Structure 1
Amino acid sequence: MKKLVLSLAALTLSFVALGQGNNYAQNYQKFEGLAMTPPMGWNSWNKFACNVDEKLIRETADAMVSSGMKAAGYTYINIDDCWHGDRDSLGFIQADPKRFPSGIKALADYVHSKGLKLGIYSDAGSQTCGGRPGSRGYEFQDAQMYAQWGVDYLKYDWCNTEGLKAEGAYKTITAALRKAGRPMVLSICEWGTDKPWEWGPAVGHLWRTTGDIYNCFDCVKDHGTWKSWGVMQILDQQEGLRQYAGPGQWNDPDMLEVGNGMAVNEDRAHFTMWSMLAAPLIAGNDLRQMSKETLAILTDREVLAINQDKLGIQGLKYSAKDSLETWLKPLDGGKWAVAFLNRAKVPQKVSFDWKKTPITDALSKRELNANKTDYKIRNVWAKKSQGTTKKAFEATVPAHDVVLVVLAE
């Protein structure tokens, strides 16, 4: 009888444990159906760092509409670090009352009224990179607040994460977002240290592949314990990652520096290569006072079409010689984008014989063969037709610039 009682007790405990396990099971899968093309928007950090407030965000939303950026496809207005105030007595995060006196909900409502979406920032550690309250230990509460506020996009950083493992930490915030119930794009900002491209596709919609970008075409800024990277340095770090990108999952080489001080030709090359990479296009300049050249780059419909191509195939570097690189990107409808990037400080001549250079992309299983197909050539930035692939392509690429063409049957 004693054995029977013990067995029944054990059986009861096992059912209780099983029931608890079911009740508390977590969903570590991202929201599906989001970011099917690379996200397009704006983020406050590159230009304003911690100097953010609701006036800036409202004016930026206004400028995104009035400038034509919304019409070109830009959607997200993302507040980066330093919006945070304290947590309340129950641990729920609040916005800084001086910087955001109306609160994030009112700000989200304003952004939504413009036909745009609002993004916010947090950190997997105890503090953000700017020293504000991080989400560690408060993930589910923070996700609930973001959902209540109407947030559409979360950039989740990796400062002050002592002892945490990246994949587990990002699974936790994904589970929290799923529990909160509001679909949000999750931007994994782990800097590529723990190879997020290997586990990120199930957890988030984009993942940083490098450290922070720096407003420089070809240089490195050494901060002592860490470095930020120029545009060309970040481009080089994308090698070997293209197989991980596709609809709903994107390699993120960090936000754009277009309009933040580089020369126009360098901005054009930067924007072109991010489009060839199928990278998220998150502007980082002051939208309220852009030059016409900056606006023209950011809103060029033909370049944006390359970035937003529905196949979602990341471009490949085909060749590199004497600082002149040739990149190719398969596009929908049998088209190809081809970029000739000049990394040198002097102009370089291009002579590319299509018929002598049949190319097969093993990843996309696409062939560019001018012996089988005669392609028409469209020079994208010059806005003109430039013959066909029956003849070799001849051009001069200015220093720190690019020639971009689209081939169509």
Structure 2
Amino acid sequence: MRILLTPILVFMLPFMAAAQQTLPHINGPRLYGARPGKEFIYTIPASGERPMSFQVKRLPKGVTVDAGSGVISGSIKKAGSYKVELVAVNKHGKSAKAFTLVIGDKLALTPPMGWSSWYSFGRSVTLDKVIRSAEIIREKGLQQYGWSVIEIDDPWTNQPPNNDTTWIKLKQKTGTAYSYYEGPDNLPGRVGATRDANGTLIPNQYFKEIKKFPALMHKMGFKAGIYSSPGPLTCGGVAGSYGHELTDAKFFADNGFDYLKYDWCSYGSLAKDESKAELIKPYRLMSDALRAQKRDVIHALCQYGMGNVWEWGNESGGQLWRTEGDITDNWKAVYSAIKKLADKAAYVKPGNWNDPDILQIGVVGAQSEGEAKRNHLTPDEQRTHFSMWCMLDAPLLIGANMELLDDFTLQLITNEEVIAVNQDALGKAAGLKTVLPNKVEVWSKPLEDGSIAVGLLNPTDQEQATEFSFSTVAGSSAFHVRDLWQKKDLGLFENKVSASIPSHGIILWKLVKK
């Protein structure tokens, strides 16, 4: 049986939606994790007409909220769960949400969300380009949906001159571990001394003001992200952190960085092999160094899935770990990354996230072409891509050049109902439940409120008419079904529901038990 909306209600829905868009609405997760005594920043993600003011009721000692920006910052000395109420107010009304500051031993209780420079600018990245991207993200209202990390990727430090002994030492590799680094002579504008007399990293000419970057990001309500490698060189061939881990961790934290992408790269020339112990070693070293600092810094392991990293990534002290090499904007690459995680939901939980790489939506391609200028994924493929990253509880980092952001991409990344699947506090990733006779895949993910997120993914080259039985994912026979992309209640269904799915497309539903 299906319950249909009455005609008068259907007629009123567009007007109701328009009115709701002007009201404040607090998005994002219902909790945030920080360590005792560590400095942190969290911006209340609230959509609705500006200007808007914010308050937090029952805020614990040690932290404050900026009423104009909604930025919560400070530190809480004592471990515990602090239940507060977030409030957002504009001229149309107010919105309130229960929220918990979880002060303990875990960071990133929901997957990080933000933007990375790699697929936008590649090796031509500059501080000015990153700051401009952050400005556009704020202007477009993406912060209001939880997009908070602005990450500077490779290469922001200097490359050693071609006669530096680093190049010779790396070529003397004797182990069997994977190693990759570029240079010398590939970055002529970024060559110079790599560290000062105190051992501190020297930024290249395009990042001279990098120490001011975190403060600027915090003022704008963002978290500041940075990039390095456990090897002597990054993948692009500039200075990494090998032998200077404590110095670099202090540099990052003292200057206010909140997020570190730590890329294996040239470390493979030093590792003996790809045994679990050798793979964990450099990441555990940096995790311990970061934990010793005054500030919470999320540690993102980038090592391409070697040694089944999802099985031991948490032992490294990191909060997320790459399960793939760099992916590209083609269906084969995206679908392969999805299928690789079909049976790995058991390794995902709050503070432990599988990362299949940066989102290939919008205008990307700078990592291979030097400039972001295309996307080879169809609109349906991009929607599937984003849907499945949300279903898999993957970190959500936008790779698109913000200067070239189009309306379609903006609509994808501001659908708060789809994002909420990713940011659900239960922290359970989706798994592949079954493949139907027409090859349509049924993926499901339990949500904290007892509902179920279901994705019907069509990997074939033709549109598929599909009949989906609730028994595939649950024992109950009747569910209220909501289409998350359409933001529309479809009705109450008994036993099954039918749908048509475009080639490489997806239907994303939320099932609520009758």
TM range (shorter): 0.7 to 0.9
Partner residue in 2 for 1:211 = 325
Separation (CA, whole Å) in 2 of partners of 1:121 and 1:338: 35
Q: Distance in 1 between matches of 2:440 and 2:512?
A: 24
Structure 1: any 5+ residue segments left out of the alignment?
1-30, 219-229, 360-367
Superposition pairs of residues 216-365 of structure 1, within 5 angstroms: 216-218=330-332, 230-260=333-363, 261=375, 262-321=377-436, 322-354=438-470, 357=471, 359=473
- Pick aligned residue for 2:300 from 176, 187, 190: 187
In 2, Cα distance between equivalents of 1:172 and 1:305: 34
Which amino acid letter does the alignment assign opposite residue 197 of structure 2?
S
Which residue is 1:14 aligned to?
A: none
Separation of aligned partners in 2, 1:353 and 1:390: 9
- Whole-angstrom CA distance in 1 between matches of 2:463 and 2:505: 9
Contact 1:32–1:248 (8 Å) recurs in 2 = no
What is the DSSP-based 3-state SS (H/G/I as helix, E as strand, rest coil) of the residue aligned with 1:309?
coil
Alignment partners' CA distance in 2, 1:338 and 1:358: 10
Partner of 1:387: 491
- Give the one of 108, 117, 122 matched to 1:49: 122
Residues 34-67 of structure 1 show CA distances to partners (whole Å, capped at 9, x for unaligned) of: 2100100011112211111111111111111111
Equivalents in 2 of 1:234, 1:216: separation in Å?
11
Q: Deviations over 1:177-225 (max 9, x none)?
A: 123332100001111112222322141000111111111112xxxxxxx
Amino acid at match of 2:496: A
Q: Which residue of 2 aligns with 1:94?
A: 202
Contact 1:358 1:370 in 2 (8 A): no
Q: Secondary structure of 2:331's partner?
A: coil
Larger mean CA deviation between 175-184 and 113-122 belongs to 175-184
Q: Which digits, 9 at most, give the CA deviation of each residue in 1:253-300, with x for residues without a partner?
A: 111011131221111000000011011111100123311100100111
Q: Give the TM-score taking structure 2 as reference length.
A: 0.67
Distance 1:123 1:77 in 2: 18
Counterpart among 253, 259, 262 of residue 153 in structure 1? 259
Residue 168 of structure 1 aligns to which amino acid in structure 2?
A: K
Which consecutive segments of 4 or more residues in structure 1 shift more than 4 A? none
2-side partners of 1:215 and 1:121: how far apart? 22
Q: Which string of whole-angstrom CA distances, capped at 9 and with x for unpartnered residues, describes residues 301-356 of structure 1?
A: 110011111100000101124431110010111100111111112101110132xx
1:247 deviates by 0.7
Deviation digits for residues 370-401 of structure 1 (CA, Å, limit 9, x no counterpart): 23xx3210011123222223152111101111
Match of residue 377 from structure 1: 481
Equivalent residue, structure 1, for 2:142: 69
In structure 1, what is the equivalent of residue 227 of structure 2? 121
* In structure 1, distance between residues paired with 2:249 and 2:451: 42
Equivalent AA in structure 2 for residue 171 of structure 1: R
| 1:152-173 CA distance string (max 9 Å, x none) | 0000001111232220111111
TM-score using structure 1 length: 0.84
Q: Is the 8 Å Cα contact of residues 377 and 389 (structure 1) preserved in structure 2?
A: yes
Note the residue ranges of structure 2 that are not aligned, 5 or more in a row: 1-103, 159-193, 272-277, 364-374
1: CA distance, partners of 2:351 / 2:398 = 20
SS of 2:292's partner is helix
C-alpha distance in 1, partners of 2:491/2:475?
Answer: 16
Contact 2:343–2:432 at 8 Å: present in 1 too? no
- SS of 2:314's partner is helix
- CA distance 1:323–1:358, change in 2 (3 Å): closer
2-structure distance, mates of 1:143, 1:52: 22
Amino acid corresponding to residue 137 of structure 1 in structure 2: G
Q: CA deviation at 1:406?
A: 0.5
SS across alignment from 1:326: strand
Aligned length, in residue pairs: 354
Instruction: State the AA in 2 paired with 1:94.
Output: I
Question: Which one of 176, 179, 199 corresponds to residue 312 of structure 2?
Answer: 199
Q: Which residue of structure 1 lines up, in the alignment, with residue 243 of structure 2?
A: 137
Q: Is the 8 A contact 2:456 2:507 kept in 1?
A: yes
User: Any conservation in 2 of the 1:140–1:180 contact (CA below 8 Å)?
Assistant: no
1:4 aligned residue: none
**Structure 1 counterpart SS, 2:311:** helix
Question: Is the partner of 1:140 in helix, strand or coil?
Answer: helix
Whether 2:285 is the aligned partner of 1:172: answer: yes
Aligned-pair CA distance for 1:240: 3.0
d(CA) in 2 for partners of 1:391 and 1:36? 35
C-alpha displacement of 1:89:
2.3
Q: Are the equivalent residues in 1 in contact too, given 2:254–2:294 (CA < 8 A)?
A: no
| Contact 1:315–1:328, Cα closer than 8 Å, also in 2 | yes
Output the CA distance in 2 between the equivalents of 1:51 and 1:408: 48
* Percent identity over paired residues: 36
Q: Which amino acid letter does the alignment assign opposite residue 88 of structure 1?
A: D
Letter of the 1:386 counterpart: L
Q: In the aligned structure 1, how far is the partner of 2:345 from the partner of 2:456? A: 19
* Backbone CA RMSD of aligned residues: 1.4
1:104 match: 210
Kept in 2, the 8 Å contact 1:370–1:389? The answer is no
